[in-house]
Structure 1
C-alpha cells in the first residue's frame, strides 16, 4: 500500500513541475504542406481545418504569404482535411492516416468555383505513402498488424523484426511468457550493438540505466502503433547506438469500443523439439493463458437534478483502459549429474580405468603399484626421500577414501546431493521441475481537449508479476539452474500537454517516470550454514542474507544459489522532463527543445554472502593439469576447494543525469526539395552515489609504496629489479577528489544531422542523410561491482601456497582462518585493494561512444497502393565500450619468458616491508612466496585489475536494403524486405546476450587482432508479413449473399515469414596455462584464448556434410603451445552457425453478431512447418561436445484464441 501511495505521489509531483519539462522523442505526428491554385500560385488566407475522426476534435490554420500550413503534435490515427478560400471550391480529403512520429506532407491544389461546392479527394488520389519530408530510414508497425499478426508469447517487441536492417537472435524470437523485457535486448538495428537501442512509450524512455533493457513491455492490446527508426533520424533522437522504437498507447474515441480476449496454449498442441525426439525424452509440460479486455470512449458523468438523460457525455474527455493477465505453468525435465552411491561413501573404485605405462605410485598401504586412469591421489602427499618409490605420488588404497579422512563439511555438502535415480555417472538424476508465472498489467489513459488551443493527456501503466523456477534439486540445494522466487512491479506514468499559442507557434511539454522494482528470494532463504558444519563466523558474515552456500563441483550439477542471485532487491527509476517549441517561418518548420533525465538505481544484491566454493580434480589428481586422475567429488569429500570467496557488499544508491538540447529545421526549399537540418548536444554524466562510495583507478597514480627491490633467482636471468609501484584506486567525492561524478564530464558531444528529400516526380523521391549520434556510456548489468564501490570487502579462499599442497589450516571446516575481511569504516586511501583483485575498476576518461550514420535511398510509388524502396545504409562507430579487460595482463615480452621462469616462486618481497605497509594476510600477496609472473605484472601490488567500459572498440556497417510495402486497402496489407549487410568490429558488446557471443580481447596489447566480423553479423536476411481479410462473403466483394456469404465471410489469413543466415562462429580453446599468467586468476570473462588454425574449418568435401554431430571440421583447430596466443581470427566469415527459417501463421474467422459486434476465433501456428532451427554449435576446443549442435529453437507451437470486439 505504501509503495503504491509513493508512486502516486511521484506522479502528482510531475504535474506540479510540468511547466519546467523538456522534450525528446515524441509519439505524435506532423502534417504540413502548401495550398496553391491550378497555376501553382499561393492562396494566402485559405482556412485549413484538420479533424481527428475518432474524437471530432478540430484544429485550424490560416495560410500566410508563403502558402504553407502545418499541424504538429497530432495523435496517430485517421484525419479529415478541409481547405476553404473565397473563389475556390472547398477541398476535402478523408481517411488521412498519420502514423506515430510521422512527418507527412500533403500539398493541396484548389479548383476555381463556389466555396459551397466541395471536391472530395480519396486517400488513393493524394497519397501520403512517399516520405517526402524526411531522410530517416525506418517503418511503422500499424494497429492492423499488431492486432492480427501471430505473436509468439504475445510479445509486441517481436514486431520490430518486421523492418529491414533489424537482425534477430533466438533470444528475440522465443515465446517469452511474461510482460517484461522479453527478447528485445537481442536485436541489432543497422549494425548497432544489441542492448543499445532507445525505447520510448508516449515520449517516455523505458530503457533502464543498468543494462539498457526496457523496464517492461506493453500489452499488444494497448499499443496503437509504433515506429522503428533505423538510420539518420532527426535531432530529436539521441542516446542510442543503433535505432529507436517509439510506441504510442491507444486512446478513446467518440464511441464506446472494447475488446475481450483469451489466448490459450497447451503442450498437447505442440510438436516435440528436435533433440527431444533424438533422445527419446518427453516434451515439457506447458500451459499458457493470457486473458483480459479493454474499453475506450468518451467519459460520461451523472446528471444531478438537471433533467434529461441520467448521464452526460463529455465530448472533449476520452478514456482508454486495458487489463491483461497471464498465467503460465510449466514442468521441465531436468537431467543432472550427482555423485553415485559408492562415491557418497568415499568409494571411487568405479572410476578406475586403464593402466598408465611406465608410471608407478605408492598407495596408502605402502604398496608400490602401477598408476591407473581415475586414481584418487592424497592431496600434496609425496613419498619421502630415501623410501622406495621416493618422489612418487601417493594414492588412496583401492581408490577408497577412508572415513577418517572425510571432512565434516564436505561430507554434509556431499550428502546434500539427492540420491541418483538413474544408473551411470551422467544424467543419473532426472526430475520434473515445475515453474510458474503470474502477471497482471493495467493501462489507463485520459485525453482532454480543454480547447482548440490546449490539449492534455495522462497515461499510467502498472505491472504486477511473480514467478519461480524450481530447478534440478529440491529445497535449499536448488542449484544454479533454478531461478529465484521473483516479484516484479514495473510502473510508468506520463503527462503530456500541447498549447497552440498561434497557428505558427506550438508549445509542447511532457514529463513522466518509469520505475522498476524487482525482488528475489532464494529457495534457501534463512538457511544457517553452521548446519553444514561451517564455523559460526560464516553465518555471522551473512547477516540477514543467510542462504545455502554455493558449491560448484566440476563435472556435477552445482549446489546452492548462483552468485549474485540471492535475496535481493533492485529498484530503478527514470525521471524524464521534456519541452519543445515549434515555429513555422515561411518555408521553415523549426523545432527547439531539450531533454533532462535522472536515472536512479538502488541495489541490494548480496554477493556470495555464505561463501562460494569451487571444487575441481586438481588436489586429488597426479598433477593439477592431469585430466585422467582425480575427481571433484573426492576433493569435496576431503574439504579442499580449488577456489572460493566470501564477499560483503554495500547497497548502492546510484544516480546519473542526462541532458540534451536540439534544434531541428525542416526547410521546404521548393515544391520538390525538403532539407532536414538539425543539431543536437547531449551529455550522459557519470554516476554519483549517495554516500560517495564510488572509486576510480588512476593508471599512473602513485601507490603509497613507491618502489620495491626484488632479487630474482639466478636461473631466471632477471637479476635484481626495482618494481615501480604505480596505479592506485582513488575515491570519488571524498578526500582530495571534490567531484562526486565517477567520470570526467564529456561536454563536447555535438551531433549535426542533415537530410534531404527530393521529389524527382510525383511518385518518386530520392533521399539522403547523415549525422553524428552518441550512445549511452552505461551498461554491465545489476551486479554491485559494476559501480566500482569502494566499500566492498572480499575474503578469498587461499587454497594453496605452492600450487600442489592445500594451505595448512585452511579447509571447508575453517575456510577463512585469518578472519573475514570487513568493510572499512573509512576509505583507506591509495592503498585500497592492496593484494586484492580489483573488479571492476573505472577510469575517469570514459566518453559516450560516437556513431556516424549515413544513407541514400530511392522510393517509388506503384499502382495498387504499393511503395518500393532501395536504400544503402552505413555507419562507423568509435569509442565503443569494451567488455571486461584485465589491465594487469603480462606484457608479451614478459610472457615470452616461458612457464619455467614465470612459475618460479620467490620470497615475497612485500613481506619485507614495515608491518604497516604489508598486504593483508588474507590477500594473494599475504603468502610467504609469490610467483615471478605476479611480480612482473604492470601492477604487481594487485591481482586482476579488471576494467569495464573502456572506450576502445570500433565498428563499421554497410548494407543494401530493399523494401516493398502495400498500404492497408481492400482488406490487404503486406510488407517485405531483404537486407544484404556486413558488420565488422573488434568487440561486439559489453556483455553477452542469452544467444549472442561477445568474446573480448585475447591479447590486450594486440587489440587490432580482434578485428573481424561482428558476432551478430548477418549477411542475408528476408522478412515478410501479410494481413489479408479474404474478399468473400458478407463482408467481402465476392459471394456476399445467402448461405455462401455466411460460410465464406469473415475469414482472415495473417503470416510472418523470416529467413536469415547464421552468425559467424567464434572458436575458443580451453586454457593452455596462458590464463593463469596473462590473466592471473583464470577469469575467462576477461581473456578469451583462441586456438591455432591448422586447416580449413569448413566442411567442403562432397562426401561429407554438416551434421548435428559435426558442424565444422574440428581437426582444423589446435590448442596453442603452452603460454602462447592462438592465431585463429576472433570470428570466421566462412564458418557460421545455422541460419533461421520460420513461418508463423494465423487463421481467423469472424462471426458478426451485430453491426458493431463480432466474435473472432483464431488459430495460430509458430514455426508452421516444424523446421529444426539449430542454435550455435559448441565452440570450445577441448570440450567433449566441440563442433556439435546441442540445442534447437522451439518446434511448431499452436495457440488458440477468442476475441470479442464490441
Structure 2
C-alpha cells in the first residue's frame, strides 16, 4: 500500500515531457512452433557500465524494459526447457523503441548468438525523425563544433541559415515552434525557443551521447510546440576510467578570402580546447560520473561591406541652404558613414559607393557539464546533471567598425529519480531548472537608427537586459499489461521573463530616398522609450496518455491523447497595458481584462501504425501516422502589454529638429493583440516505408504533410479615413502594430534517406527532401511578414519565407580498414601500422535551394489611401523576366521588371483611385529567390597508439573545401529608374555580402582546421 501511495504522489507531481531521452527494448518470446512463452527470463546488460536489468515475459509472451540509457546492450533470453538465446551489440538510440523478438529452440543445443538481428527499423510509431550518435558528433567536421550543426543530418530537418539554433526548422514550421531538451528538461532560450546568440558550446559535442529530433507526427508523450522535438542526451560515466583532452586551431593563413572582401584576408585566430573525464565513483555501489569542459577563443578582423554616400553626395549635403538647426543633424548623419577612397570603395553611381572595410570581432565561450548516475538497487536509480555556458562577444555592426557587445550565460540542471515498483509499473520523476542571463548593447556614433535608401542602415545604441528562468516538474509512468505498453504523464513548467527592453531610448528615422534626405524630409520617425525591469510570468500544464499496442506480432499501434494548457501571461506586479481596438471599446482594455483569454480545450489526438509483414521477414516496415499539435508561439511576444508601458509614437513627414514635435510620456503607437487569440494548431500526417537494404543499413521513402491553423500574423491597424481626415482611432498613430492568430500555412514534402550505423566502421547518413511550404505571411511561432494591404490577406498567399524547395545532406565516417585490428594488414608490424594503419575519413556535404525574397519599394504614407505603408510592392510589367539573362553579384535581379503603382496626389487633394486600378503593387509576395548554397567539408584523421591505453589523434579538416563562392541575399528594395542618375538608382539586385560573415557555420569561404586529441 505504501508503494502504491508513493506512486500516486509521484504520478500526481506536475511536470513536462516523457522519457524521450531514454530508450526501450521490447519483443515477444516464442517457441519454434510460434506459441508464446510466458515466464521467460531476460537479462539486458549495458556493455559500457556492466549494469543489468532483469524482467520476465508476461502471459502474452511480451517483455518490455524501458527507461534505458542510450548505448550498446547484450540481451539474453532463457526459459526452462529451451536453449538460451543471446543478442550481442544491440544498439539502442535515444527515444528508440527497439523490437527484439526471440524464437527459442528446445533444450539440447548450445547458446544461440545473434548479432544485430535487424537495422533498428522503427516498428512502434510513424514519426519522421532520426538520431545523431556520438561517433558523428565527435568525428564529423562541424565548423564551430556546435551540436546544432548535426541536426542537418536528421530526416525532416532543414537549416535555413548558417547552422545556429534559430536556423533549424522542421515540417515547414517556424524556428519558434521547436522544443529543445537536454536530458528531458527544457533547454530553450526561454524568451525564444532558441538562444539569442551563436552559443556553439551550450552543450559540447564531446559531452553528448546522442541527439534525437522528431520532425512531424510524433506520439503523445512529446509536445509543447507543433514543430521539431529536439532531445540532447548527455554522456554518462562507464565502469572504467576514460578521458580525453583536445585542442583545435585555425588561422587565417590557411583560409581563403571571402569573395566580397576585395582581396582582403580577414585576420583570424581561433582555438577550441577542452577535456572529458568519466568513470566509476564506486563500482560496488554502481555510481558513475562524467565531467566535461570546452572553451573557445575567436578573434577576427571582420570583413564589412555596404552602400555608402559618395564624396560628391557628401559635398552636396554640406552645401544645402538650410538653417544650421536642420543642416547640422544631416551632416552628422552623413559623416557617420565611412569615407570612400579608391582603396576601399567601388563607385555605383554619382550618389552611392560600394564600400569595403573591416572591424574587430572577439568571442570567448566557456562550457562545462557534470553528471552523476547512481543505480541504488534493482528498483531505483538516480541521476543529476548540471551544465553552464558563458558567452561574451564584441563585434562591428554592418559598416560601423565600432563595437556592439553581447554577454550571455545559460546554466541548466536536472535531477531524476526512477522507480521500478513492479516488473510492470515504472515511474520517472524529474525536476529541472533552466536560465538565460543576457546583456546586449552597442556603441554607435548616432543616438538613433537611420535608414536612407539606398545606403546601408546605421544602427542604434539601444540594447536589452534579460534574466529569464524556467522551472520544470515532470512525472511519467509506464504500465505494462500483456500486449499493451501504457504511458502517462503530467507536466508543469513555470516560465519567468525578467527584462528591460529596450534598456535605453530607441529612435528610428526613415528617409525614403536621397532626394527626401536633401530636402530634410523624414518620411517616418519612430520613438520608443526605455522600459523598466519587468517580470512576465506564465505556467504551462500538460498531460498525456498513450497505448503502444502490439495488435499482432507484425502490427503495432500507437494511440494517444495529449492535453496542453499554456496558461495566461501576466506581469508579476500587475504592470502592462493591453491594447485591442477590435474587442475593447476604448482601444486600451480595462485592467480587469486579461492580456488574452487562454484556450482551455487543446486536446491533441495522436495515432500511428507500424506494420512489418511477416512474408518480408521483418526487413520492411510500413508506417503511417496522424496527429494534432498545439503551440502558443513566442513567449516574449505574448508579453507585448509590458512593452506598452513605455513612450511609443510615430511621426510622419517631419523635418529636423524633430524633438519639438514629440509628445513625452505618451504611447500613441502601441502594440495591439487579439485578446481572443487561439493557439496555433498543426495537423500533421505521414506515410513512410523503411527497408533494410543491407546489414545495419536502412532506406526510407516518406511523404509528410502539415496544415496549420491559427498561425501568427503581424499586421497593422488604425487606417486613415479620407472622409474625416483622421485615422479610425484619432488618439493613436496611423498603422500601429496589431497581432493576431488567423493565418494559415501548409507544407507537403517527399523525403528519402539512407542510414547505416558505425558498428562495422562505416557510417552513412544521406537525406534528400523536396518540399513546398505555402502561407499568407505567417510561418508560426513569432514569425510573420506584415501584409502590403491588411484588408487583403489572400493577396499575401505565396511560398513561405522558409520554402527551401530542395534540401540534400550527406555524411560519412569511414575507418579505413587497414592496420592492426582491421580487415587488411591486421598482423602488420609496428612501423607499417604507424604509417598505414589508424586512418579515418569523414565528410559532410550540403546542397540547398535559395530562399524566397520579397521585393519592396519605399513610399510615402500619403501615397496610399489608408496611409498604411508596410512592405509595399511594385507592379509587375507583363512579359519582363524577374531575373537578368546573366545573373551576377552586381545584378542578380532585373530592375526593369517593375513599375511604380498608382499613388495618391502629393498636393493633399482628395485621393480618388480610378476603377480597376489598385494603389497596391500587384507583384506577389516572395516573387524572387536568393542564391542557393552548396559545399563539401572533408576531414582526415590518424590515430597513434601511445602505451597500452592511450591514443593520440591528429585531425585535419577543410570547410567548403572547393572554395565555392557563397553569396548572400541580393538587395530587394526597388526604386523606379532615374535617367539623370542611374537606371538602377538604389542598387536593386546587388549582392554585397557573403552568405555567412562569421568564421563558423555553413556558407563560409574555404577554411582549414587542425586538431590534436588524446584519449585513454
Question: Computing the radius of gyration over CA atoms, which structure comes out larger, 1 or 2?
Answer: 1
| Cα deviation 1:1063-1117 (Å, max 9, x = unaligned) | 233222222646765344x4xxxx211221113454789xx33222333433222
**1:316 alignment partner, one of 281, 286, 290:** 286
CA RMSD of aligned residues (A): 3.1
CA drift of 1:436 comes to 0.7
CA drift of 1:819 comes to 6.8
| Cα deviation 1:983-1003 (Å, max 9, x = unaligned) | 11111436998xxxx533111
Secondary structure of the structure 2 residue equivalent to 1:729: coil
| Residue number in structure 2 paired with 1:811 | 657
**2:699 alignment partner, one of 864, 868, 872:** 868
Alignment partner of 1:227 is 2:197 = no
| Residue number in structure 1 paired with 2:91 | 97
| Cα deviation 1:315-369 (Å, max 9, x = unaligned) | 41100000011101111244678889999xxxx7x43xxxxxxxxxxxxxxxxxx
Alignment partner of 1:776 is 2:632 = yes
Once residues 768 and 472 of structure 1 are traced to their aligned partners in structure 2, the CA distance between those partners, rounded to angstroms, is: 48
Once residues 110 and 660 of structure 1 are traced to their aligned partners in structure 2, the CA distance between those partners, rounded to angstroms, is: 43
| Residue number in structure 1 paired with 2:942 | 1149
Once residues 641 and 579 of structure 2 are traced to their aligned partners in structure 1, the CA distance between those partners, rounded to angstroms, is: 12
- After TM superposition, the structure 1 stretch with the greater mean CA deviation from structure 2, 1171-1180 or 653-662, is 1171-1180
Select the structure that is richer in strand.
2
- Judged with a 3 Å threshold, the aligned counterparts in structure 2 of structure 1 residues 47 and 798 are, in CA distance, closer, same or farther, namely closer
- Judged with a 3 Å threshold, the aligned counterparts in structure 2 of structure 1 residues 764 and 794 are, in CA distance, closer, same or farther, namely closer
**1:791 alignment partner, one of 639, 645, 661:** 645
Gaps spanning 5+ residues in structure 1: where?
A: 1-15, 173-182, 301-312, 352-373, 377-398, 474-478, 525-546, 617-624, 704-726, 801-805, 823-832, 895-901, 903-931
Alignment partner of 1:767 is 2:623 = yes
Once residues 76 and 87 of structure 2 are traced to their aligned partners in structure 1, the CA distance between those partners, rounded to angstroms, is: 7
CA drift of 1:775 comes to 1.9
**1:843 alignment partner, one of 656, 667, 674:** 674
Once residues 1051 and 1200 of structure 1 are traced to their aligned partners in structure 2, the CA distance between those partners, rounded to angstroms, is: 15
| Residue number in structure 2 paired with 1:729 | 588
Alignment partner of 1:1049 is 2:881 = no
- What is the 5 A alignment of 1:1172-1187? 1172-1182=965-975, 1184-1187=986-989
- After TM superposition, the structure 1 stretch with the greater mean CA deviation from structure 2, 421-430 or 745-754, is 421-430
Secondary structure of the structure 2 residue equivalent to 1:210: coil
Secondary structure of the structure 2 residue equivalent to 1:1004: coil
Alignment partner of 1:447 is 2:329 = no
CA drift of 1:444 comes to 0.3
Once residues 426 and 441 of structure 2 are traced to their aligned partners in structure 1, the CA distance between those partners, rounded to angstroms, is: 50
| Residue number in structure 2 paired with 1:1095 | 878
- Judged with a 3 Å threshold, the aligned counterparts in structure 2 of structure 1 residues 335 and 1177 are, in CA distance, closer, same or farther, namely closer
**2:665 alignment partner, one of 818, 821, 827:** 821
| Residue number in structure 1 paired with 2:4 | none
Secondary structure of the structure 2 residue equivalent to 1:228: strand
Alignment partner of 1:577 is 2:473 = yes
Secondary structure of the structure 2 residue equivalent to 1:875: strand
Alignment partner of 1:743 is 2:573 = no
**1:291 alignment partner, one of 258, 267, 273:** 273
| Cα deviation 1:537-569 (Å, max 9, x = unaligned) | xxxxxxxxxx9722627369899862642xx42
CA contact (8 A) 2:333 2:446 kept: no
CA contact (8 A) 1:1097 1:1114 kept: no
**1:1197 alignment partner, one of 985, 988, 1007:** 1007
| Residue number in structure 1 paired with 2:341 | 422
Once residues 136 and 627 of structure 2 are traced to their aligned partners in structure 1, the CA distance between those partners, rounded to angstroms, is: 31
CA drift of 1:523 comes to 3.6
CA contact (8 A) 1:949 1:990 kept: no
Once residues 735 and 340 of structure 2 are traced to their aligned partners in structure 1, the CA distance between those partners, rounded to angstroms, is: 45
Secondary structure of the structure 2 residue equivalent to 1:1109: coil
Once residues 18 and 667 of structure 1 are traced to their aligned partners in structure 2, the CA distance between those partners, rounded to angstroms, is: 22
CA contact (8 A) 2:44 2:52 kept: yes
Once residues 871 and 472 of structure 1 are traced to their aligned partners in structure 2, the CA distance between those partners, rounded to angstroms, is: 42
Alignment partner of 1:1131 is 2:926 = yes
CA contact (8 A) 1:641 1:811 kept: no
Once residues 121 and 308 of structure 2 are traced to their aligned partners in structure 1, the CA distance between those partners, rounded to angstroms, is: 64
Secondary structure of the structure 2 residue equivalent to 1:957: strand
**1:466 alignment partner, one of 377, 387, 392:** 392
Secondary structure of the structure 1 residue equivalent to 2:929: coil
Alignment partner of 1:593 is 2:437 = no
- Judged with a 3 Å threshold, the aligned counterparts in structure 2 of structure 1 residues 19 and 1199 are, in CA distance, closer, same or farther, namely farther
Alignment partner of 1:1007 is 2:860 = no
CA contact (8 A) 1:1090 1:1127 kept: yes
CA drift of 1:500 comes to 0.4
Secondary structure of the structure 2 residue equivalent to 1:1032: coil
| Cα deviation 1:788-820 (Å, max 9, x = unaligned) | 4453224667875xxxxx5xxx836xx247873
CA drift of 1:188 comes to 2.1
| Cα deviation 1:505-550 (Å, max 9, x = unaligned) | 00111110110001235447xxxxxxxxxxxxxxxxxxxxxx9722
- Judged with a 3 Å threshold, the aligned counterparts in structure 2 of structure 1 residues 1014 and 796 are, in CA distance, closer, same or farther, namely closer
CA drift of 1:867 comes to 1.1
If the length of structure 2 is used for normalisation, what is the TM-score? 0.88
| Residue number in structure 2 paired with 1:1109 | 890
Once residues 458 and 700 of structure 2 are traced to their aligned partners in structure 1, the CA distance between those partners, rounded to angstroms, is: 55
- Judged with a 3 Å threshold, the aligned counterparts in structure 2 of structure 1 residues 35 and 152 are, in CA distance, closer, same or farther, namely same
| Residue number in structure 2 paired with 1:688 | 570
CA drift of 1:456 comes to 0.3
Alignment partner of 1:955 is 2:779 = no
Once residues 87 and 444 of structure 1 are traced to their aligned partners in structure 2, the CA distance between those partners, rounded to angstroms, is: 47
Once residues 764 and 397 of structure 2 are traced to their aligned partners in structure 1, the CA distance between those partners, rounded to angstroms, is: 43
CA contact (8 A) 2:16 2:493 kept: no
| Residue number in structure 2 paired with 1:1028 | 814
**1:977 alignment partner, one of 767, 779, 790:** 767
Once residues 451 and 564 of structure 1 are traced to their aligned partners in structure 2, the CA distance between those partners, rounded to angstroms, is: 56
Once residues 63 and 963 of structure 1 are traced to their aligned partners in structure 2, the CA distance between those partners, rounded to angstroms, is: 35
- Judged with a 3 Å threshold, the aligned counterparts in structure 2 of structure 1 residues 408 and 1116 are, in CA distance, closer, same or farther, namely closer
Once residues 673 and 1107 of structure 1 are traced to their aligned partners in structure 2, the CA distance between those partners, rounded to angstroms, is: 56
CA contact (8 A) 2:247 2:271 kept: yes
Alignment partner of 1:631 is 2:514 = no
Once residues 1167 and 560 of structure 1 are traced to their aligned partners in structure 2, the CA distance between those partners, rounded to angstroms, is: 32
CA drift of 1:57 comes to 1.2
CA drift of 1:1012 comes to 1.3
| Residue number in structure 2 paired with 1:899 | none
CA drift of 1:628 comes to 4.7
**1:517 alignment partner, one of 433, 437, 451:** 437
- Judged with a 3 Å threshold, the aligned counterparts in structure 2 of structure 1 residues 508 and 336 are, in CA distance, closer, same or farther, namely closer
| Cα deviation 1:823-873 (Å, max 9, x = unaligned) | xxxxxxxxxx5xx122x1122112210000111111111234321111111
CA drift of 1:164 comes to 2.8
Once residues 1061 and 626 of structure 1 are traced to their aligned partners in structure 2, the CA distance between those partners, rounded to angstroms, is: 33
- What is the 5 A alignment of 1:72-111? 72-111=66-105
If the length of structure 1 is used for normalisation, what is the TM-score? 0.75
CA contact (8 A) 2:352 2:455 kept: no
CA drift of 1:1145 comes to 0.7
- What is the 5 A alignment of 1:497-516? 497-516=417-436
Alignment partner of 1:36 is 2:36 = no
- Judged with a 3 Å threshold, the aligned counterparts in structure 2 of structure 1 residues 521 and 45 are, in CA distance, closer, same or farther, namely same
CA contact (8 A) 1:1000 1:1088 kept: yes
Secondary structure of the structure 2 residue equivalent to 1:1047: helix
CA drift of 1:467 comes to 1.6
Once residues 862 and 524 of structure 2 are traced to their aligned partners in structure 1, the CA distance between those partners, rounded to angstroms, is: 18
CA drift of 1:426 comes to 5.3
Once residues 339 and 967 of structure 1 are traced to their aligned partners in structure 2, the CA distance between those partners, rounded to angstroms, is: 57
